[in-house]
């Protein structure tokens, strides 16, 4: 396909950028949806205080520009050959800035940030919330509307923007002053990038990103005036919500040399759903990265859940609104990375072969809950655990148990979706780094009793944003055309499957699954005792004296750690960065320090 844009008649391309939690990546796609050029840059999180997780807006902007220029150069094309730009971003990470100058008032506050934990806890225990729950139960009793029953069970979370934004308004004087003067802008990463790319001309987001903030009413399709009034959030600071496939304007020519039309903005999980071509009701997408996100297309109706699934807007294109029901498990890749840090294996690619090298896990069960358990159990106090260890247990048994736990959590989410939505499943597609593990995928297919398909390229968020942008300019014409462009790496059929790839669910794993579920129950509601300064919890693990207050106040030390830490080797008597007050023998790792970056990953 050629283009006359900017008077240049050559092959044209669509550009897509995905801003994730750990990296920013850009791909240049051709008409066959093949990647012609790529570039990746790291996202470096900041941990200024205990529980605070931030990102530097300047670094995000620098990284964005770097990957766009790098991908175009890698493709060997010119900027004027780019027909459109699509943007996919991590969800619920936000900042605020001056509407006139564009200068941020503070760093991006990450979706992982815990600074508002006390505020969330106090609200969830408040008389106001009890009154709301009681009123919703009464209304449900009178109307039998399931949405009201779900509202009677709702609790706030730090992953929602709501109370992190309330915290910022309370603690940042310049934000409050800008609100009073009418010049404060709020935005998630997509909104801020749009503002920067258009030199302040566009303050907008799309429905998929807005629905993931916790402040947006996905039923009424607008910012929730009730919630904003309840927690004192000014509606004036919020961006305009536009369609996912919308002409957001063009990049300022001074940035890339030519204006590039910005034709789509999407949240990452919804973008991955579109990239997997899960356009029809009953289509399921499973993204397995740091965590697992399972989405089912519920078409034009938002799903109301009482088990921890939540409705999000998948996309709005034209007059069509597609909703998804979403469930997640937080510690998928985290658990595998933890096992690697313990030196159970050196290369992640070896884990599938290690799991297949033994016939079973030798009775070992692993519970992947470093960050608690999400749907359908919803227990933030659950701990990670290994149970059933024996003298005969080998590294291969441990690796198999860890990989089995990933598939078991997939199965829990899948069964919850079947039970709650009552929507017949039409297809299941997977993506994300962990989906490259054949053992996990085969076991998932066996447990589901369904065919599971893995694409050739696992980075679906970029592709989804590119597809929406391309449809917007006519680069691709129809969704049926997009389906024909899908490239499959491998299909995993459950053992004993028929021609359609379906069969009765595997009975072989029922005893193993039952043992794992017993281990799961034992890991739930795990008590975390208060500790004294320097009190050694495990060899190599302790709490810094200046962090004891936060630890004791939280009552859940393990949940304060944003991921597991490797246990240091003994015998090193050197001082550790961040611990200048104490000589440590052997080296010890503070359980409350906000991130692996505070201390060396290996000592």
For the chain, what is the mean pLDDT?
A: 86
Note whether 548 and 516 are same-domain residues. no
Note whether 487 and 574 are same-domain residues. no
CB half-sphere exposure, 341, CA atoms < 13 A: 18
Res 6: pLDDT: 52
Note whether 286 and 312 are same-domain residues. yes
* pLDDT category of residue 529 using cuts at 50, 70 and 90: low
Its pTM stands at 0.83
Q: Which two tokens stand for residue 419?
A: 């039970």
> What secondary structure does DSSP assign to 516-545, as a single string?
HHHHHHHHTT-------TT--SBTTEE--G
Note whether 357 and 387 are same-domain residues. yes
Q: Which two tokens stand for residue 484?
A: 């024909």
**At residue 574, does pLDDT exceed 50?**
no
Note whether 196 and 108 are same-domain residues. yes
Neighbours of 262 (CB within 10 A): 25
Residue 224 lies in a domain: yes
Residue 514 lies in a domain: yes
How far is 220 from 209, CA to CA, in rounded Å? Answer: 15
Note whether 376 and 494 are same-domain residues. yes
Residue 375 lies in a domain: yes
Res 430: pLDDT: 97
Residue 138 lies in a domain: no
CA 339, distance to chain mean position in Å, is: 21
Note whether 318 and 457 are same-domain residues. yes
Note whether 411 and 517 are same-domain residues. yes
Which span out of 146-150, 290-294, 363-367, 521-525 was modeled with the highest average pLDDT?
363-367
pLDDT digits (tens, 9 = 90+) for 399-409: 999 999 999 99
Domain end, chosen from 234, 260, 286, is at 260
Residue 67 lies in a domain: yes
Residue ranges making up the domain that contains 112: 2-116+158-260
Task: Report how many helices (DSSP H) and strands (DSSP E) the chain contains, helices first.
Answer: 20, 26
How far is 436 from 118, CA to CA, in rounded Å? Answer: 39
Query: What average pLDDT score do residues 226-238 get?
Result: 95
Q: How many domains does the chain have?
A: 3
Res 595: pLDDT: 40
Note whether 316 and 291 are same-domain residues. yes
Note whether 244 and 370 are same-domain residues. no
Q: How many residues does the chain have?
A: 603
Which span out of 313-317, 528-532, 589-593 was modeled with the highest average pLDDT?
313-317
pLDDT digits (tens, 9 = 90+) for 442-488: 999 999 999 999 999 888 999 999 999 999 999 999 999 999 999 89
Secondary structure element (H or E) that encloses residue 428, with its range:
strand 427-431
**At residue 343, does pLDDT exceed 50?**
yes
Res 555: pLDDT: 36
Q: Are 182 and 169 spatial neighbours (Cβ–Cβ below 8 Å)?
A: no
Q: Where are the beta strands (DSSP E) in 2-151?
A: 2-3, 10-11, 13-19, 23-29, 35-42, 54-55, 82-89, 94-98, 108-109
Note whether 330 and 411 are same-domain residues. yes
Residue 331 lies in a domain: yes
* pLDDT category of residue 321 using cuts at 50, 70 and 90: very high
* pLDDT category of residue 145 using cuts at 50, 70 and 90: confident
pLDDT digits (tens, 9 = 90+) for 582-597: 333 333 444 444 443 3
Query: What average pLDDT score do residues 410-428 get?
Result: 94
The residue among 105 and 527 whose pLDDT is bigger is: 105
Res 570: pLDDT: 37
Residue 96 lies in a domain: yes
- R_g (Cα) of the chain, nearest Å: 24
Residue 269 lies in a domain: no
Note whether 302 and 440 are same-domain residues. yes
Q: Where are the beta strands (DSSP E) in 174-271?
A: 184-188, 204-206, 216-217, 222-223, 240-242, 262-267
């Amino acid at each position: 396909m050629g283009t006359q844009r900017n008077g240049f008649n050559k092959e044209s391309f669509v550009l897509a950028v995905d801003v994730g939690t750990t990296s920013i990546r850009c791909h240049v796609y051709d008409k066959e949806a093949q990647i012609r050029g790529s570039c990746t840059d790291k996202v470096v999180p900041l941990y200024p205080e205990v529980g605070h997780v931030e990102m530097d807006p300047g670094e995000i902007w620098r990284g964005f520009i770097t990957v766009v220029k790098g991908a175009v150069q890698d493709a060997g094309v010119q900027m004027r050959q780019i027909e459109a730009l699509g943007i996919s971003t991590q969800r619920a990470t936000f900042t605020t800035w001056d509407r006139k100058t564009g200068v941020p008032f503070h760093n991006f506050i990450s979706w992982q940030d815990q600074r508002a934990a006390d505020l969330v806890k106090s609200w969830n225990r408040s008389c106001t919330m009890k009154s709301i729950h009681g009123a919703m139960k009464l209304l449900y009793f009178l109307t039998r509307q399931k949405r009201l029953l779900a509202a009677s069970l709702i609790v706030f979370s730090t992953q929602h923007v709501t109370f992190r934004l309330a915290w910022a308004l309370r603690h940042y004087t310049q934000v409050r002053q800008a609100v009073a003067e009418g010049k404060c802008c709020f935005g998630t990463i997509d909104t801020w990038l749009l503002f920067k790319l258009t030199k302040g001309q566009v303050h907008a987001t799309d429905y998929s990103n807005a629905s993931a903030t916790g402040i947006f009413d996905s039923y009424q399709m607008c910012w929730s005036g009730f919630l904003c009034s309840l927690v004192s959030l000014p509606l004036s600071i919020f961006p305009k919500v536009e369609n996912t496939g919308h002409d957001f304007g063009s990049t300022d020519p001074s940035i890339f040399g030519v204006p590039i039309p910005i034709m789509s903005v999407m949240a990452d999980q919804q973008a991955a759903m579109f990239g997997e071509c899960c356009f029809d009701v009953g289509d399921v997408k499973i993204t397995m990265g740091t965590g697992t996100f399972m989405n089912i297309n519920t078409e034009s109706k938002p799903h109301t859940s009482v088990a921890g699934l939540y409705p999000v807007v998948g996309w709005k294109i034209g007059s069509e609104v597609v909703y998804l029901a979403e469930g997640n498990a937080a510690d998928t890749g985290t658990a595998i990375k933890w096992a690697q840090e313990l030196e159970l294996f050196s290369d992640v690619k070896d884990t599938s072969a290690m799991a297949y090298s033994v016939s079973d896990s030798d009775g070992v069960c692993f519970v992947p809950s470093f960050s608690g358990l999400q749907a359908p159990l919803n227990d933030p106090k659950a701990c990670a655990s290994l149970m059933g260890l024996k003298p005969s247990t080998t590294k291969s048994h441990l690796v198999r148990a860890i990989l089995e736990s990933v598939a078991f959590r997939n199965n829990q989410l899948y069964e919850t979706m079947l039970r709650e939505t009552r929507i017949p499943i039409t297809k299941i597609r997977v993506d994300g780094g962990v989906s490259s593990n054949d053992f996990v995928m085969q076991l998932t297919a066996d447990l589901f009793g369904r065919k599971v398909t893995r694409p050739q390229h696992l980075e679906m968020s970029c592709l989804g944003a590119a597809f929406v942008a391309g449809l917007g300019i006519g680069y691709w014409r129809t969704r049926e055309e997009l389906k024909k462009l899908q490239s499959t790496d491998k299909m995993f059929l459950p053992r004993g499957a028929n021609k359609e790839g379906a069969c009765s669910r595997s009975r072989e794993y029922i005893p193993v699954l039952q043992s794992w579920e017993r281990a799961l129950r034992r890991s739930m509601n795990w008590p975390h005792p208060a500790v004294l300064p320097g009190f050694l919890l495990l060899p190599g693990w302790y709490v810094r004296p200046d962090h004891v207050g936060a630890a004791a106040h939280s009552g859940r030390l393990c949940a304060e750690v944003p991921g597991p830490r490797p246990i240091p080797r003994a015998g090193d008597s050197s001082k550790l960065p961040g611990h200048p007050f104490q000589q440590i023998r052997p080296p010890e790792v503070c359980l409350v320090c906000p991130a692996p970056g505070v201390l060396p990953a290996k000592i």
